[in-house]
């Protein structure tokens, strides 16, 4: 029998059991380097078709078809907010796959990548900056992003301050403090670091003191409350927080806005069977947003659907930013 509405929320004991089972299944898979084309992928993976993604294992014995699928959304804000927001979609996913679905509330980007790398995460939305690391180190295969009804998508990195700080321009940050989110975040660290260096001749440690808040909502709240004089954030997160009245517009002043970047990429781990991956793909594109908990939360950014995307093309600008920052995709 398929899970009914709300049954994806398992008990702690059930979740630990599911995690243990999937970890054991993953542990049984080959971990040795393979003799194949792989580009920048970890030695455990192959990329024979050149799409920059880990291939699905060719041997059915190396593929997994777990009874319970674990889903995680990128930890940009309080996980409790998104457990509710994703509820209707996860019910739909359960119906489409015939699987039990668990929402896994990860606390940071590194933990999310490690969860997929170690076999404890099957389906995920990784933030923009984490996508290349998840792809290369964890076998993540992104295939969709959220978009507006007209197909437009993306967000911008903004450097924000509180009007009371007296900071009027990016140059005014010199000699002060700038809050980043985490080193795996595109808008929260990678993009602003590259832009500040290339366009303003400013580097962390030399021209300003960097601090790390952990998440975008922490940085935004820190600026609003006067804890940080300035911060680099994703304006999609800021938009949702303004819509929920978590912060007020008069507490935030934008002094820089970047080009548009792709937003969270959603996909699966490469070891799932092709049939299961197809069912998951279908669930994303058949989901009816109208009146759903997903629409209630993400319409605040104007998002209204999932659209197909290819990692090689959509994430090209992000890989270039990583290259400018000397980021390596080497996996420990």
Tell whether 4 is covered by a domain: no
pLDDT above 50 (res 23): no
Last residue of a domain, one of 213, 234, 261: 261
Give the C-alpha separation, 307 to 267, whole Å: 12
Tell whether 300 is covered by a domain: yes
For 45-58, how does the pLDDT look when each residue is reduced to its tens digit (9 = 90+)?
999 999 999 999 99
Q: Are residues 235 and 273 in the same domain?
A: no
Tell whether 329 is covered by a domain: no
Q: Are residues 147 and 61 in the same domain?
A: yes
Last residue of a domain, one of 261, 280, 311: 261
Q: Are residues 79 and 198 in the same domain?
A: no
List beta partners, residue 141: 268
For 202-230, how does the pLDDT look when each residue is reduced to its tens digit (9 = 90+)?
999 999 999 999 999 999 999 999 999 99
Q: Are residues 219 and 112 in the same domain?
A: no
Q: Are residues 165 and 305 in the same domain?
A: no
What's residue 32's pLDDT?
Answer: 52
For 282-295, how does the pLDDT look when each residue is reduced to its tens digit (9 = 90+)?
999 999 999 999 99
Domain that holds residue 116: 12-151+263-324
Q: Are residues 194 and 251 in the same domain?
A: yes
Q: Are residues 246 and 277 in the same domain?
A: no
Contacts of 32 (CB under 8 A, 6+ apart): 43, 44
Q: Are residues 89 and 192 in the same domain?
A: no
Tell whether 5 is covered by a domain: no
CATH number of the structural domain spanning residue 253: 3.40.190.10
pLDDT above 60 (res 16): no
The mean pLDDT value of the chain amounts to 89
For 59-101, how does the pLDDT look when each residue is reduced to its tens digit (9 = 90+)?
999 999 999 999 999 987 677 788 999 999 999 999 999 999 9
What's residue 271's pLDDT?
Answer: 98
Q: Are residues 168 and 197 in the same domain?
A: yes
Tell whether 3 is covered by a domain: no
**What's the whole-number mean pLDDT along residues 126-136?**
95
pLDDT above 50 (res 18): no
Tell whether 74 is covered by a domain: yes
Tell whether 76 is covered by a domain: yes
Q: Are residues 136 and 55 in the same domain?
A: yes
For 295-310, how does the pLDDT look when each residue is reduced to its tens digit (9 = 90+)?
999 998 899 999 999 9
What's residue 19's pLDDT?
Answer: 44
Q: Are residues 72 and 105 in the same domain?
A: yes
For 99-130, how does the pLDDT look when each residue is reduced to its tens digit (9 = 90+)?
999 999 988 889 999 999 999 999 999 999 99
pTM of this prediction?
0.79
What's residue 28's pLDDT?
Answer: 39
Tell whether 32 is covered by a domain: yes
CB 89 within 8 A of CB 70: no
What's residue 76's pLDDT?
Answer: 72
Q: Are residues 244 and 281 in the same domain?
A: no
Domain count for the chain: 2
């Amino acid at each position: 029998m398929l899970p009914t509405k709300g049954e994806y929320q398992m008990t702690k004991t059930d979740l630990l059991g599911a995690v243990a089972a999937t970890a054991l299944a993953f542990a049984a898979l080959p971990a040795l380097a393979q003799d194949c084309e792989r580009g920048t992928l970890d030695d455990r993976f192959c990329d024979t078709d050149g799409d920059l993604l880990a291939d699905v294992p060719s041997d059915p014995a190396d593929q997994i078809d777990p009874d319970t699928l674990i889903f995680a959304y990128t930890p940009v804000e309080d996980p409790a907010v998104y457990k509710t927001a994703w509820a209707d979609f996860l019910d739909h996913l359960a119906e489409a796959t015939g699987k039990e679905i668990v929402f896994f509330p990860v606390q940071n980007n590194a933990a999310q990548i490690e969860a997929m790398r170690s076999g404890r995460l099957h389906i995920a939305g990784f933030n923009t900056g984490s996508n290349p690391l998840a792809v290369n180190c964890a076998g993540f295969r992104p295939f969709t992003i959220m978009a507006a009804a007209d197909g437009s998508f993306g967000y911008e990195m903004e450097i924000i301050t509180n009007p009371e700080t007296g900071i009027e321009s990016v140059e005014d940050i010199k000699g002060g403090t700038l809050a980043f989110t985490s080193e795996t975040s595109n808008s929260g660290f990678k993009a602003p670091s590259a832009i500040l260096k290339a366009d303003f001749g400013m580097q962390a440690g030399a021209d300003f003191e960097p601090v790390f808040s952990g998440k975008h909502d922490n940085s935004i709240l820190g600026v609003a409350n006067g804890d940080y004089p300035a911060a680099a954030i994703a304006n999609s997160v800021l938009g949702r927080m303004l819509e929920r009245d978590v912060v007020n517009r008069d507490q935030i002043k934008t002094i820089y806005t970047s080009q548009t970047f792709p937003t969270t990429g959603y996909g699966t781990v490469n070891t799932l069977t092709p049939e299961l991956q197809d069912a998951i793909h279908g669930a994303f594109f058949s989901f009816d947003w109208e009146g759903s908990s997903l629409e209630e939360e993400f319409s605040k950014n104007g998002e209204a659907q999932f659209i197909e995307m290819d990692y090689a093309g959509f994430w090209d600008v992000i890989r270039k930013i990583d290259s400018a920052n000397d980021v390596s995709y080497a996996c420990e």
